[in-house]
């Protein structure tokens, strides 16, 4: 086993682990102490009775109350990050800040006109997923509503905007792929980055192709890794697992990982035309629960889309409506 020394949090910053579902188990929320005694919370975590209680206890442990929250800042719209922000805002009136693109994506997922819960099972069906699996998807998606209700009123953050959090200046760096409009926050003076799920240690952040969202998510993600990898970073504070060093190396590793995955899919398609679900089973196995299967299927589709963009494969719809991916000869 490679020994990794644990990185302690700097003065004025605390990490609060908020419970979430398997396999991630927890999301890292960061509490940054402002010079005037207030705090900024980055990514408060998904909402549930359990996580509300965790915040009461965490704030009490820091001799703080909800009234000390100056602002909530979000890296991206996923329920495990945005979830409690509207609930905190209701209690405190604190501004909730995230990118405009992330806010749009929250509406696309959970807004009053959202259609994704209906579109996604149809989409997966057209890509070969059997009906006994697609029919689980809609109910699974609806399960997230309680984690994100109420949605916050958002004060936008623009790409390249400077924010003051914990008495330090942080640059907002917007990169796509894992989530459209994802923001990392980079403090050049202390060489720290709050990187949300853009770069994670040990885990490859999920890259999802979903109908009506970013139509080139893997390309967006890889472009983002190049941008983030160029920053001079000493310590990275991720959304999951533990703070880590060697941030630039991790971006290179993730780029390599995706190239290898593209290569493996290409080899499969070269053998014979195939649908996305069969590629998904080859890459991720056929024993996944609904949540993992959705991530695996959309990740597979994101990679296939990148192979199409590179003009090494094409997709053709069959008479039964299912799309086959074929080598572009
Ligand atoms: Zn995420
Ligand atoms: Zn996350």
Tokens, residue 266: 């290409």
Does residue 314 lie within any of the structural domains? no
Structural domain total, the chain: 1
Express each pLDDT in 1-31 by its tens digit.
444 568 889 889 999 999 998 888 999 999 9
Does residue 303 lie within any of the structural domains? no
Does residue 111 lie within any of the structural domains? yes
Backbone angles phi and psi of 16, in degrees to 5: -115, 120
Express each pLDDT in 57-104 by its tens digit.
999 999 999 999 999 999 999 999 999 999 999 999 999 999 999 999
Residue with tokens 């997966």: 124
State in Å: Cα 325 to ligand 1 middle.
28
pLDDT at site 80: 97
State in Å: Cα 79 to ligand 2 middle.
8
Ligand closest to Cα of 24 equals 2
Residue from 291, 261, 292 nearest 279 by CA: 261
Q: What is the mean pLDDT of the chain?
A: 96
State in Å: Cα 21 to ligand 1 middle.
13
3 state SS of 109: helix
State in Å: Cα 50 to ligand 1 middle.
20
Backbone angles phi and psi of 187, in degrees to 5: -105, 100
Does residue 40 lie within any of the structural domains? yes
Does residue 262 lie within any of the structural domains? yes
pLDDT at site 2: 46
3-state percent helix, strand, coil for the chain, nearest multiple of 5: 40, 20, 40
Provide the CATH number for the domain around residue 134: 3.60.15.10
Tokens, residue 23: 């396999």
State in Å: Cα 293 to ligand 2 middle.
17
pLDDT at site 104: 97
State in Å: Cα 178 to ligand 1 middle.
6
pLDDT at site 22: 80
Name the residue with higher pLDDT: 56 or 21: 56
Residue from 310, 300, 315 nearest 265 by CA: 300
3 state SS of 322: coil
State in Å: Cα 79 to ligand 1 middle.
8
State in Å: Cα 75 to ligand 1 middle.
9
Q: Any bridge partners for residue 277, and if so which?
A: none
Does residue 302 lie within any of the structural domains? no
Ligand closest to Cα of 295 equals 1
Does residue 4 lie within any of the structural domains? no
Range of the domain at 242: 13-270
Does residue 285 lie within any of the structural domains? no
Ligand closest to Cα of 18 equals 2
Average pLDDT over residues 219-238: 98
């Amino acid at each position: 086993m490679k020994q990794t020394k644990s990185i302690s949090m700097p003065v004025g910053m605390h990490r609060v682990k908020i419970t979430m579902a398997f396999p991630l188990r927890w999301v890292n929320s960061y509490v940054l102490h402002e010079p005037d005694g207030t705090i900024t919370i980055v990514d408060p975590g998904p909402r549930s009775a359990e996580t509300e209680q965790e915040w009461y206890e965490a704030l009490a442990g820091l001799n703080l109350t909800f009234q000390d929250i100056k602002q909530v800042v979000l890296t991206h719209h996923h329920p495990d990050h945005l979830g409690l922000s509207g609930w905190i805002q209701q209690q405190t009136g604190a501004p909730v800040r995230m990118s405009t693109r992330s806010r749009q994506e929250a509406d696309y997922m959970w807004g009053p006109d959202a259609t994704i819960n209906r579109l996604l099972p149809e989409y997966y069906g057209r890509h070969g997923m059997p009906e006994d699996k697609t029919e689980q998807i809609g109910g699974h998606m609806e399960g997230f509503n309680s984690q994100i209700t109420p949605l916050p009123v958002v004060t936008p953050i623009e790409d390249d905007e400077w924010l003051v959090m914990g008495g330090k200046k942080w640059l907002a760096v917007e990169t796509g792929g894992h989530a459209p409009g994802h923001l990392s926050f980079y403090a050049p003076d202390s060489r720290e980055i709050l990187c949300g799920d853009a770069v994670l240690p040990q885990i490859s952040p999920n890259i999802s192709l979903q109908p009506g969202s970013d139509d080139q998510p893997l390309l967006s993600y890889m472009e983002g890794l190049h941008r983030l990898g160029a920053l001079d970073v000493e310590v990275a504070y991720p959304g999951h697992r533990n703070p880590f060093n060697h941030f630039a190396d991790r971006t290179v590793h993730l780029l390599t990982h995706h190239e290898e995955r593209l290569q493996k899919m290409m080899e499969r398609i070269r053998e014979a035309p195939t649908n996305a679900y069969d590629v998904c089973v080859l890459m991720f196995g056929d024993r996944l629960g609904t949540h993992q299967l959705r991530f695996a299927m959309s990740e597979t589709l994101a990679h296939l889309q990148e192979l199409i963009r590179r003009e090494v494969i094409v997709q053709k719809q069959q008479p039964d409506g299912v799309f086959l991916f074929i080598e572009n000869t």
